[in-house]
Structure 1
Amino acid sequence: MRGITVRDREAGISGLRLEDLPHPHAAENDVIVRVHAAGFTRGELEWPGTWSDRAGRDRTPSVPGHEVSGVVTELGYGTTGLTVGQRVFGPTDWARNGSLAEYVAVEARNLAPLPADIDHTVAAALPISGLTAWQGLFDHARLTTGQTVLIHGAAGGVGSIAVQLAHEVGARVVGTGRAADRDTVLGLGAHAFLETDRLEDAGQVDIVFDVIGGDILDRSAALVRPGGTLVTIAHPPT
């Protein structure tokens, strides 16, 4: 099969190469997925798992891409819950070869059935951003119906999903971004939109969900009412 590999950590995205690769092996509880669409983030090239396995051993050349949508072609020993020919999507393991190839081996527990009316390209864009938004809002902030949540970067990959999830659960959603993002954010279900230079107009909120960091994060802290929660996924400055 053909796949995209990386070998040189210092080369960045210019080090991506298309190569012939062995067909992946389906280990116990794995499935083999024929890839129809894959997601890749530039940040993967900084992740330790891209370059070494869980024992710290070099595993290059490695295949990046940790979001996949496709069709199951093979079941590993003991695999249950999925069938050959089934449409699926989900994240792949950080420390194994990823989805930028014709086929990928994935633990079955990482995959979900993909409805027939959802395009593979759309599905491959969801796993990492969707899980990040879900974990931030519900696992960490414990967002519930009736609360008010301020979501930064509300038109971006994570922020746009967070807006929709918060709206669906019955929260009041305030999205932030650039002026050009207003119609997009309101169309996703936000009840109000603020440009980032007018954050103070939000008043006090129960939850701030931040994807930006820096000055935005510092200014947001004052908006959280007593007992509220501030969640950020932004990297701290280095």
Structure 2
Amino acid sequence: MRAFIVKRYGKKEKLHLTELPNPDVKENDVLVQIHSAGVNLLDSLIKNGDFKLFLHYKPPFVNGHDVAGVVTKIGSKVSKFKVGDEVYSRVGDYRTGTFAEYISIDEADLALKPKNLTMDEASSIPLVGLTAWQALVEIGHVKKGQKVFIQAGSGGVGVFAIQLAKHLGAYVATTTSTMNVDWVKKLGADLVIDYKNQDFETKLKDYNLVIHSNHDTKILEKSLRVLKPGGQLISLVGPPTIEFASQIGLPWYLKLVTGLLSAGVKKKAKKLNVRFLFLFMKAEGSQLGEITSLIEAGVIIPMVDKVFSFEQTNEALAYVETGRTKGKVVIKIK
């Protein structure tokens, strides 16, 4: 099969197209012929080596986390899927490899593709959908009437999270650039702040939950201050916490590192009587199945910005790195 691999870590490194044997299929695995692969900033960060302290992939390895395709083979203990099923997934950590023609996926990380979506649309969903679900439902326990601030409303996670938060009954505020204000309002946001001309801290007060996705430490501190006492900020960009280190089974010395990295923001949060949490989303097929139901019911509508050919994988990654996408970027493989 053809696949794009990371030969070595580095921000200036490109992915390399190469020929590899088809992946092995273990007893709990499903072999999927990939039709489309979603592109995420995580793919770029993994390539750059930004996560190698916590998630160390030994080069060369195939990059990519989001996939939609057709089952071509199943392992001896697989019970939920059969050959011919149309499926999608955010593959598990250390199982990257969606920038290829085939991938072997643990059935626990897989779900049936929404019937009303194309392969391209379906591949745009898993990582951002699971991130939003785990932030708003699993951790945030968002209830009707609560106030939720979702940063970067026109980005991949933002687009999905706004729709999900509105479905849960929340009042939703978000930020975006001037040109996307009207577009984000149509997604359902109640209050849209043009970050180029407005300061969200002057507009927001007493929020129950903030979904934080900006690397600027000043933005993080402002975000804590818009919460009501007892509120929580769930960060998608860090700093990572001891709880995260324990969750993914890191050794004690890395737990110590994460504790030091997050000590400052946790102290600020405690002073304000709010909680700071770091979310590094996990693959979860059952949650993806819940998302499938919402999509088929018309609650969530995917927003695909651009579709690139398989040969343009590096260009797709570069486009995502600009931070100017409007929805998701997809690579059409089959």
TM over 0.5, shorter chain: yes
1:31-50 alignment, distance < 5 Å: 31-40=30-39, 41-45=43-47, 46=49, 47-48=51-52
Distance 2:192 2:111 in 1: 33
Distance 1:15 1:27 in 2: 30
SS, match of residue 31 in structure 2: strand
Mapped pair 1:8 → 2:8: yes
Deviation at 1:152, TM superposition (A): 0.9
SS, match of residue 73 in structure 1: strand
1:230 to 224, 229, 233: 233
Question: Is contact 1:5–1:64 with CA below 8 Å preserved after alignment?
Answer: yes
Mark the CA change 1:50 to 1:85 in structure 2 (over 3 Å): closer, same or farther: farther
1:221 to 221, 224, 247: 224
Question: Is contact 1:4–1:17 with CA below 8 Å preserved after alignment?
Answer: yes
Distance 1:50 1:7 in 2: 16
**Residue 55 (structure 1) aligns with:** none
Distance 1:148 1:217 in 2: 18
Distance 1:51 1:216 in 2: 29
**Residue 151 (structure 1) aligns with:** 150
**Residue 178 (structure 1) aligns with:** 177
CA deviation vs aligned residue, 1:194-229 (integer Å, no higher than 9, x gap): 123331212322211111142222112221111221
2:213 to 200, 211, 214: 211
SS, match of residue 4 in structure 2: strand
Q: Which has the higher contact order (CA 8 A, sep 6+)?
A: 2
Distance 1:181 1:236 in 2: 28
How many residues were matched structurally? 231
Deviation at 1:39, TM superposition (A): 2.4
- If the length of structure 2 is used for normalisation, what is the TM-score? 0.65
CA deviation vs aligned residue, 1:32-58 (integer Å, no higher than 9, x gap): 000001123211212438753xxxxx4
Distance 1:223 1:6 in 2: 41
Deviation at 1:118, TM superposition (A): 0.3
CA RMSD of aligned residues (A): 2.0
The residue identity in structure 2 corresponding to 1:221 is: L
Distance 1:27 1:187 in 2: 45
Mark the CA change 1:193 to 1:50 in structure 2 (over 3 Å): closer, same or farther: same
- If the length of structure 1 is used for normalisation, what is the TM-score? 0.90
SS, match of residue 163 in structure 1: helix
Question: Is contact 1:141–1:230 with CA below 8 Å preserved after alignment?
Answer: no
The residue identity in structure 2 corresponding to 1:174 is: A
Percent identity between the two aligned chains:
33
The residue identity in structure 1 corresponding to 2:160 is: I
Question: What 5-or-longer segments of structure 1 have no aligned partner?
Answer: 53-57
CA deviation vs aligned residue, 1:180-204 (integer Å, no higher than 9, x gap): 2211211111112112333121232
SS, match of residue 145 in structure 1: coil
The residue identity in structure 1 corresponding to 2:145 is: G
1:85-104 alignment, distance < 5 Å: 85-104=84-103
Distance 2:93 2:239 in 1: 22
**Residue 109 (structure 2) aligns with:** 110
The residue identity in structure 2 corresponding to 1:9 is: Y
SS, match of residue 115 in structure 2: coil
